[in-house]
Structure 1
């Protein structure tokens, strides 16, 4: 991928030297001051900025989103007296974190639906047992980066509140979700009692996450962050990288989301292709092509070697005869026309047809 001249999905991975140069170029007025010391410095500046962007009174920096969300759910469980969390079985906490919220934090999950979509307000309202917190992943990544409509999201939140529950947004990719919802970040975040956002999945930072909410909530979250081992001595590189990402990537997200629709439409024209959702809700979506995945992955590498073109990341077999990959339309893809996308896709399928096996 680093050797390719054109990239359709994702970003070229930077070298350590390039990362260091990026950090030095961040517009942060305190570069001549001392760095953070268990907080403060660029970490505090980042917390203030993200809290302002989300319209929340305060925000707390965490080294990982896994830790941030465990702390958020633990705080709400203590306040509501109910350790049950309503969430989706395809959500990040269930699929990608080894069920840490259960194993480490002692919480229990219930599912409003097992369908590969966002839950409905009626499903939340009809849950057959009490729950203290509703967790909503925006977008629901493993279902195809799916979002509800603005009215559906409002109804979902109202249904949780009618059950006496708190609402937490897993907003790892909230930054790019606002366009489909048709509202700005403070309006969307304002629906939830707490919001988690990632600092690297969209912003291109090094690592880290922010947990935002009311000041009494963030004070409690800071105490639990310390207990979980998340109060690191210094985290200024991650904070600076995130500040740079806010400056660089946030203004470009409307372009990414709009161009994703062009890319998705062109990919949908390939023989045997399926794009889901048909009109992407964000700048990410699923692409399904005739498999097997081994042949498609071999073709991706062959296309990179022969044409210096990076088409997509790893394909996985998902159903008989079809393999799926997640497409991310970012800055490198903006130079691609629909015709470029189609031509590269056809070349990929031709190489896959000739791959061993």
Structure 2
């Protein structure tokens, strides 16, 4: 019967991040620097709001788009933080994490034969959804531009089939960001083109050097941009599964249909916790951001001292050093490192072909774990 399974589903591969993470269970003494899972707990006031929702029997369905008070709080949050103005009544949807937000976005705007421009290396979660829609990912090599998607690079890859461009900054896996001037140049290129922009801003609150800039804040681009965000990284709420889409009403009304038949609504309990996070936890990310900045500086300095070629991240909690000079593929390097020194990192080829020759290290771990992991990495490098 397996031959009857949808070919598009059969051809999807398990994420390279998860593949390598799953290998770690076979090495009981391994130090894992693989997963983008904050090591901070959900803020106490947010957890209490979730408990309160259960105790008050707030466990029934909400509106498909989510609690109106939550959507208002989400709209207020992105306005106060990033200057984005959205009507909570018809331009905001509460989703099951940013992952579902991406799914309903792509399924709404893509059709057979469309092309979606992506920077490479990039988070591997986009390609499977794009392909399930019958569309085609078009990767741009950003290794020579500081891992940044530039207007010049985009222009050279636009075709008559280009339907969408993904702007995923701060970036997973590189930690790079786009500043306002870089976004303006992209805006000048795209403002008169019938091309959607999907701006994945899930790491927006983890920007280290200055404020986060959203491409949707450019007036000429708001009408064609779908902003993806959520609380997994900003409030350490990965398991609560709360994300958001912010988009013009003419797009949102169609995304809402996909969301309705896909999930009905996000978890009601999680929505009440999310309301508390956004209403009374406007700056909950600040302490985490400050700690991640310290970890970034430590990890970056250690990698440089090891002689690795690496860009200093400006956001998120990942760093993406090159291992090309060792003459191993990224998978071979990561596998040998795990076998010899019991340190797990993610091979760069998990993030498209343009990630080959790199490894991703997550510093969403304590300083003690990072120090031990980097000591083992240094020992491994000296053995090569």
TM-score, structure 1 normalization: 0.69
Q: Quick one: structure 1 residues 200 and 128, their matched pair in 2 at CA, closer, same or farther if it must change by over 3 Å?
A: same
The reply on whether 1:60 has 2:101 as its aligned counterpart is no
Cα separation, 2, equivalents of 1:23 and 1:123: 42
The match for 2:135 among 102, 107, 110 is 107
CA deviations on 1:2-25 (whole Å, 9 max, x unpaired) are: x99x999976879xxx98988642
The match for 2:231 among 199, 209, 227 is 199
Cα separation, 2, equivalents of 1:313 and 1:203: 26
Unaligned 5+ segments in structure 2 are 1-23, 80-85, 327-331
- The equivalent residue for 1:167 is 197
Q: Quick one: structure 1 residues 155 and 300, their matched pair in 2 at CA, closer, same or farther if it must change by over 3 Å?
A: same
- The equivalent residue for 1:25 is 48
Measured after TM superposition, the shift of residue 86 of structure 1 is 3.0
The reply on whether 1:327 has 2:342 as its aligned counterpart is no
The reply on whether 1:35 has 2:58 as its aligned counterpart is yes
8 Å CA contact 2:341, 2:377 repeated in 1? yes
The reply on whether 1:48 has 2:72 as its aligned counterpart is yes
Cα separation, 1, equivalents of 2:277 and 2:338: 30
8 Å CA contact 1:42, 1:240 repeated in 2? no
8 Å CA contact 2:50, 2:269 repeated in 1? no
Q: Quick one: structure 1 residues 231 and 188, their matched pair in 2 at CA, closer, same or farther if it must change by over 3 Å?
A: same
The reply on whether 1:157 has 2:198 as its aligned counterpart is no
Unaligned 5+ segments in structure 1 are 302-311
Partner-residue secondary structure (3-state), 2:258: helix
- The equivalent residue for 1:146 is 176
8 Å CA contact 2:318, 2:360 repeated in 1? no
Cα separation, 2, equivalents of 1:259 and 1:241: 29
The structure whose RCO (Cα within 8 Å, separation 6+) is larger is: 2
CA deviations on 1:149-180 (whole Å, 9 max, x unpaired) are: 22011211221113232322022322324x44
The reply on whether 1:219 has 2:253 as its aligned counterpart is yes
8 Å CA contact 1:124, 1:160 repeated in 2? no
Cα separation, 2, equivalents of 1:254 and 1:90: 24
8 Å CA contact 1:292, 1:323 repeated in 2? no
8 Å CA contact 1:259, 1:329 repeated in 2? no
Measured after TM superposition, the shift of residue 37 of structure 1 is 3.3
Q: Where in structure 2 are the equivalents of 1:206-285 lying within 5 Å?
A: 206=239, 207-227=241-261, 229-232=262-265, 235-240=267-272, 242-243=274-275, 247=281, 249-275=284-310, 277-285=311-319
The reply on whether 1:297 has 2:338 as its aligned counterpart is yes
CA deviations on 1:267-303 (whole Å, 9 max, x unpaired) are: 134434443x2354444322467784345335765xx
Q: Quick one: structure 1 residues 49 and 325, their matched pair in 2 at CA, closer, same or farther if it must change by over 3 Å?
A: same
- Which moved further from structure 2: 235-244 or 114-123? 235-244
Measured after TM superposition, the shift of residue 77 of structure 1 is 5.3
Measured after TM superposition, the shift of residue 76 of structure 1 is 4.2
Measured after TM superposition, the shift of residue 237 of structure 1 is 3.9
- The equivalent residue for 1:316 is 347
The reply on whether 1:190 has 2:220 as its aligned counterpart is no
Cα separation, 1, equivalents of 2:154 and 2:380: 47
Q: Quick one: structure 1 residues 83 and 313, their matched pair in 2 at CA, closer, same or farther if it must change by over 3 Å?
A: same
Measured after TM superposition, the shift of residue 87 of structure 1 is 2.9
Q: Quick one: structure 1 residues 160 and 109, their matched pair in 2 at CA, closer, same or farther if it must change by over 3 Å?
A: farther
Cα separation, 2, equivalents of 1:254 and 1:271: 26
Cα separation, 2, equivalents of 1:30 and 1:217: 31
